[in-house]
Copies of this chain bind each other. A is one copy, B any other.
Amino acid sequence: MAAMKWWGWGHEDVSFTHEDKPELAPFIQKALQLDVTKPGTERPKELDELDVPDPVLPDALRGALEKAVGAEYVSTDQLDRVVHTRGKSLRDLVRQRRGDMPRVPDAVLRPGDEAAAEALLAAALEADAVVIPFGGGSSISGSVEAEPGEKRPVLSVDMGRLDRVLDVDPTSRLARIQAGVFGPELERQLGERGWTIGHFPDSFTHSTLGGWIATRSSGMQSDRYGDIADLTRGLRVVTPSGVLVVRPVPSTSTGPSVREMVLGSEGRLGLITEATVQVRRRPPERQILGYLFPNWREGLAAMRDIAASEAEPSVTRVSDAPETAFSFATSKAPTPLDRVKSKALQLLLKRKGWDLEQMCLSFIGYEGTSTNVKLQRALTERIVKRHGGMSIGSSPGELYDQKKFDTPYIRDFLLDRGAPADVSETSAPWSELGNVYDAVRAAGQGAFRELGVPGYLMCHLSHSYHAGACLYFTFAITPSGERDSLEEYDVVKSAIQQAFVDSGATLSHHHAVGTEHARWLEQDISGPGVRMVEALLHGTDPGANLNPGKIVK
């Protein structure tokens, strides 16, 4: 797995374009007053233009690290260091493009096994160096960047060589897996044996098992498979006091759960080298169907009623009207037949008395034996119908399923044209979701007005639970040009985050805290909650060598 672009998302040879999507340029023109048909003018700097300080790596430390992981796996290469400087938050992308790099890691280390990870941590602690674990580098919360004023040597530990499925226990449906493996490679190795982990976050192609665990990740099929917090049973973590071994037992009452302390720990407790996770046989049948609801209220209510019913779909997702409009605008050039169908559909919906501006697109997935898929679908569609929803068949769902991992590339496309776009997601009880949504809409629109910039804000519900769901917001602005665009971005992002915590929701559903969300932590988990997290992190890492500054100071 090659590293991502140093200045943007994903593979070097993949990028987002409006050219094969005839509706998109007019849509963005209307939404953001931005003409994307003009080539982008805000290109990133060239690598050799960057002002990257020389690495500071005392000889004794370098020697110890080379002994620990092997000399060829201690890299001070400039590109390597630049790629490992930070993750892929909007703020990260902008600063990388600008060459704004106050603290580049001094070396990138690539341990090949747990013993190497242990030895490197010992060497780092001995030299009072900072150790930052690095999985896919897809963090959008600032979780992999050194603190700007860090005076100690900074070591980015790339876990990518630990990329093997070590064992599958078919009886227990557990797989022992090295933590540095990327999503696609993990699924390939599991798939060869007929298994899947069923964890598909949007970052899937560029994120790792260890990263998912360190940030409490969720995937599009988590309704059925569980979040990574549910999937992860056993763990091996190299900590300052040795290798933490969590047994892969299904449930235990051994005091406050150490397993759960590692989940979401963002590298502050140690280097996750291995996990034993729940896997399932690849399902004999799998469907993701598209549905339309007359409006957001009905779409939300349908998802809530499905969660309270005996139906158990594998995916539940509904977009609000703005996101529905965006989805339609990103459709690729339709065939003449598609056009006819689409006209017929519009006619039908108008006859039903729908306001097409309010219409909401939904995807619901079903998995398992053919009998079960039929049953789940029948149970679910009864509820969909009760809320005025209608099926639009399998092609939209298939399309979504295929292109979902391409979405992150759009930020670079917009940044080339100077427009920052990003996501913020939360979760709340079902009874509060309507209020949270309204509060975030108001906050976002308020921020656009305050800045006097064109902005777009859209949302979908995903990840249904017993008692609530995730609301996932995406926003973009065309900056005024009067201020630093990052400042304007920050006004919007902050308004949304503040609306989350003010309305009783959480600061993040599955993107973790890092530095981006740290300022809302106390408002979310309360002062005593912060004290408990501090007690755990500071007590485990008294020298503050492990990814300091993330989650809490």
Contact = CB atoms under 8 A, between A and B. Distances in A.
Nearest to A529: B258
A460 interface: no
Contact of A253 (B430, B469, B511): B511
Contacts of A508: 252-254
Interface stretch (A130-138, A169-177, A397-405, A447-455): A169-177
21 contacts: A169-B429, A171-B431, A173-B467, A174-B467, A216-B252, A227-B251, A243-B528, A245-B526, A248-B467, A249-B427, A250-B429, A251-B509, A252-B507, A253-B509, A253-B512, A255-B266, A261-B261, A269-B532, A532-B536, A532-B539, A535-B538
A432 interface: yes
Contact of A264 (B243, B255, B308, B524): B255
Nearest to A539: B535
A514 to B, nearest CB: 9
Nearest to A520: B254
A264 B258 contact: no
B174 A254 contact: no
A206 to B, nearest CB: 18
Contacts of A252: 216, 427, 506-509, 524
A528 to B, nearest CB: 4
Contacts of A266: 255
Given A256-B261, A536-B536, 4 more contacts: A227-B251, A247-B504, A256-B264, A257-B263
Nearest to A228: B253
Contacts of A538: 535, 539
Interface residues of A, number: 93
A218 B534 contact: no
A258 B521 CA distance: 11
A215 interface: yes
A70 interface: no
A419 B469 CA distance: 52
B535 A540 contact: yes
A244 interface: yes
A114 to B, nearest CB: 13
Interface in A400-454: 426-432
B308 A533 contact: no
A172 B533 contact: no
Contact of A250 (B465, B507, B511): B465
B540 A531 contact: yes
Given A261-B536, A430-B171, A532-B536, A513 B239 contact: no
A254 B521 contact: yes
A253 B216 contact: yes
Q: How many copies does the complex hold?
A: 2
Nearest to A218: B251
A249 B535 contact: no
A481 to B, nearest CB: 35
Nearest to A551: B255
Interface in A507-553: 507-513, 517, 521, 524-529, 531-540, 551-552
A528 B273 CA distance: 15
A535 B536 contact: yes
A49 interface: no
A249 B505 contact: yes
A86 interface: no
Contact of A172 (B173, B254, B467, B506): B467
A81 interface: no
A388 interface: no
Nearest to A464: B250
A469 B254 CA distance: 16
Contacts of A527: 241-242
A513 B255 contact: yes
A429 B160 CA distance: 28
A237 interface: yes
A512 B252 CA distance: 8
Nearest to A468: B250
Contacts of A258: 525, 529, 532-533
A257 B264 contact: yes
A172 B468 contact: yes
A256 B249 contact: no
Contact of A256 (B242, B505, B526, B533): B533
A310 B372 contact: yes
A250 B504 contact: no
A227 B470 CA distance: 22
Contact of A255 (B368, B509, B533): B533
Interface string A453-476: 000000000010111111000000
A229 B252 CA distance: 10
B172 A521 contact: no
A182 to B, nearest CB: 20
A532 B246 CA distance: 12
A233 interface: yes
Given A216-B253, A540-B535, A526 B429 contact: no
Interface string A481-510: 000000000000000000000001111111
B249 A429 contact: yes
A304 interface: yes
Interface in A245-289: 245-258, 260-266, 269-270, 278
